[in-house]
Amino acid sequence: MKKFPFESNSDKYQEGRNLGAAIKSLLSQNLDNQVSFMEKWKLAVKFGLFDSLIPTGKILKNGLIDTLEGLGESCEDGGFLLAIAAHCCAVAAPISRFGNKEQKELLNSMRNGKIIGAFGATEAEAGSDVMSLKTKYIKDGENYILNGEKCYITNIAEANIYLVLATKDHRLHSRGLSAFLIPSDVKGVEIKKNERRMGLHGCSIGNLILNGVVIPKSALLGSIGQGALIFQEALLWERSIIAANQVGTLRRQLKASIQHAKSRKQFNRPIGTNQYVAGRIVDNLSRYYTSRILVKQLLEKLTHETLTQAEVSLIKLFVSEAGLSSSIDTMRTFGGAGYMSDAPFGTDIQDAMGGVIYSGTSDMQKVIIAAELGLL
């Protein structure tokens, strides 16, 4: 295979690569000082990324797979890619589908970067089992009052608005869940410090505390009891876009491995002539090639509103596990050089470890798929 698979010169692909390269350049120029999140966010706005990712109705722009793959290939900042997905998919997509006219006006401010969104579902005792969450709401005249604590919230420090799931009574199961749009400056909203973690350092992650937060009825997203549907919509979009970005990372790792295996010599011959090294690179190719086909089909179904939860879970499972395996294999191909702190592969591994956990663990994806097969 002399030509690199899926070699693309499309405008959308180059747009994604250019944005990722600009973010990478920004990071490389500030090795001793942490690059501010907002500097990267402004670049994303400048390149028009949010115009492509935040849906109008539920329609995505053509060529999105190319944009996201190009971005994932050149960005090398898995945390920031997660922040983008949380903003555009976990918050904006549900607003686009369930929001009223006034709420949908927020989308323009989300596209131009003036408003940053965060999604609040996970709690200490309710991760994938969102029906067990304890954050409660009560109706008080024309207002709602919320109390509870959310954890592992992406964009916790920068968000202007939180899409929060709460229950009227956990005994009502899905019928008790509702969703609310809560501004960050409302009295009773408290943010715990940014959590220290293994990877995904390009975004903020932390806890959101709601202590007697009073919001008007206009803050209700959708109708009372639609929280489970809104949660499913958020995950459908988030898992799709995250998978598309991961395809770009797989591509970068594959290209780097091929180039290194051809140029690095041991025992007077390129290391790529060693069948074990060559076989490892073929495994990377297989993961990339398959992931791209799956994600392209996924985005087409998402655009045409035919994507199911089981389908997106299957692809999220495959692509996130492929990302972890390929990150490890790429580091092994580079040997000692791949283990050094200035190589990107250690960061890739740390970010990929997060990939098999966030937006639903790999184990949880298998449960969803098995249930669809009638096994559970």
- Active site positions, annotated: 238
Within 10 Å of residue 23's Cβ, how many Cβ atoms?
24
The string of DSSP codes covering 117-136 is EEEE--BTTBSS-GGG---E
Residue of 189, 136, 133 lying closest to 160 (CA atoms): 189
Q: How are beta strands 220-221 and 177-183 bridged, if at all?
A: antiparallel
**Nearest-angstrom CA–CA distance, 188 and 207:** 14
Q: Is 204 left (phi over 0), alpha (psi -120 to 50) or beta?
A: beta
Are the C-beta atoms of 254 and 327 separated by less than 8 Å?
A: no
Q: Which two tokens stand for residue 202?
A: 């390009």
Q: 10: number of CA atoms within 13 Å, CB side? A: 15
- Virtual torsion, Cα 348, 354, 359, 365, nearest 10 deg: 100
The neighbouring-strand residues paired with 147 are 136, 211
Q: At what angle do helices 227-263 and 64-75 cross, to 10 degrees?
A: 60
**Cα–Cα distances in Å, from 208 out to 46, 99, 156, 166, 181?**
29, 23, 7, 13, 13
Length of the chain: 376
Beta-bridged to residue 144, according to DSSP, are 139, 215
CB 291 within 8 A of CB 319: yes
DSSP conformation class of 174: G
Residues 6 or more apart whose Cβ sits within 8 Å of residue 361:
127, 128
Query: Most distant CA pair in the chain: distance in Å?
Result: 80
**Cα gap 239→364, rounded to integer Å:** 13
